[in-house]
Amino acid sequence: MEIRQEGCQYTLYKEQTAIGAARLEAGHVWVEIDPAWRQRGYGSYLLKELLRQNGGLDPKQKSHFTAALPEEEAARALATKFDFVPAGDRLVRRRVPDLSAVGFCHDFLAARLAPGGLYIDATCGNGHDTEFLCRLAGPSGRVLALDIQQQAVDATNARLAQAGLDGIGRAVRQDHARLGEVAAPNSADCVVFNFGWLPGAAHNVHSTAEGSIPALQAALTALKPGGILAAVLYSGQVIGSGEKEAALAFFRALPLTRYTVLVCEFANWADTAPLPCFIIKK
């Protein structure tokens, strides 16, 4: 089978014979299969491919599709299979991006921090958090990113340059356990940690409790009153649970008179799922 696309039109071919067609215009979907070829799964194949090519099956993308209310039972069953639901005089399929631990941290920080000031990415990796912090800090702010691996520093600086944000943020090679050497006490509005390993690199190089606990303590010292520390904790077969458990113990021992601590568990995720945590300095 083959699907050929010309503009908004998708045509399904089987052995050079056109057996079905679909259109997508302004989010509105229309699908038709030749009667001689119905009830064989070709409608599902065509609709699934149309949705896939336009972000409808990507859990990280927001999508919105509509379709006419079908009269035939088979067409209604096909629409239901792909999560179209009746809404007035039409069918609607809406998806919102799946919530991730990192995305949740970004939403939390964006809702509570204003442009300007000093933002620190203590584990910059490939620069996704650093770029987010630069956009949050704005032209009047400053972002400092750290990583122990030169590969991560280079990737982050390249990412910022490509996005036109290198005037706001920069990455330097520095162990996060020595964060206190580059951030003065009470100077930072936000410090972000995304523990684990560098995505795309060897998994045998990863953060550990021995370095991360001193880094968390240094970050709290660097925070201004009202500043926020955000950390995503990981566990699993490769890295074990030592760092995660040590960080949780550190968080839970912090005095309530000086800090508000949030540990945000996704209750129906696996025990090894990433765990977003926040500390607000009083």
Give the domain CATH number at 60.
Answer: 3.40.630.30
Are residues 109 and 75 part of one domain?
A: no
Are residues 151 and 271 part of one domain?
A: yes
Q: What would the pLDDT profile of 1-50 be if each residue is shown by its tens digit?
A: 899 999 999 999 998 999 999 999 999 999 999 999 999 999 999 999 99
Are residues 209 and 172 part of one domain?
A: yes
Give the global pTM: 0.78
Number of domain units in the chain: 2
Percent of the chain with pLDDT over 90: 80
**Residue 235 pLDDT:** 85
* Domain limit, last residue, from 95, 119, 150: 95
**DSSP structure string for the chain:** -EEEEETTEEEEEETTEEEEEEEEETTEEEEEE-GGGTTSSHHHHHHHHHHHHTTTT-TTS-EEEEEEPPSSHHHHHHHHHTT-EEETTEEEEEE-PPP-HHHHHHHHHHHH--SSEEEEESS-TTSHHHHHHHHHH-TTEEEEEEES-HHHHHHHHHHHHHTT-TTTEEEEE--GGGGGGTS-TT-EEEEEEE-SB-TTS-TTSB--HHHHHHHHHHHHHHEEEEEEEEEEE--BTTTBSHHHHHHHHHHHTS-TTTEEEEE---TTS-TTS-EEEEEEE-
Are residues 134 and 26 part of one domain?
A: no
Residue 113 banded pLDDT, cuts 50, 70, 90: very high
Are residues 78 and 6 part of one domain?
A: yes
Are residues 123 and 33 part of one domain?
A: no
Are residues 267 and 150 part of one domain?
A: yes
> In this structure, what CATH number is given to the domain that contains residue 259?
3.40.50.150
Residue range 256-262: mean pLDDT, rounded: 97
Residue 60 banded pLDDT, cuts 50, 70, 90: confident
* Domain limit, last residue, from 56, 79, 95: 95
Are residues 149 and 13 part of one domain?
A: no
Domain that holds residue 41: 2-95
**Residue 243 pLDDT:** 87
Are residues 30 and 13 part of one domain?
A: yes
Are residues 135 and 271 part of one domain?
A: yes
* Domain limit, last residue, from 60, 95, 130: 95
Are residues 157 and 263 part of one domain?
A: yes
The mean pLDDT value of the chain amounts to 92
Q: Is pLDDT of 202 > 80?
A: no
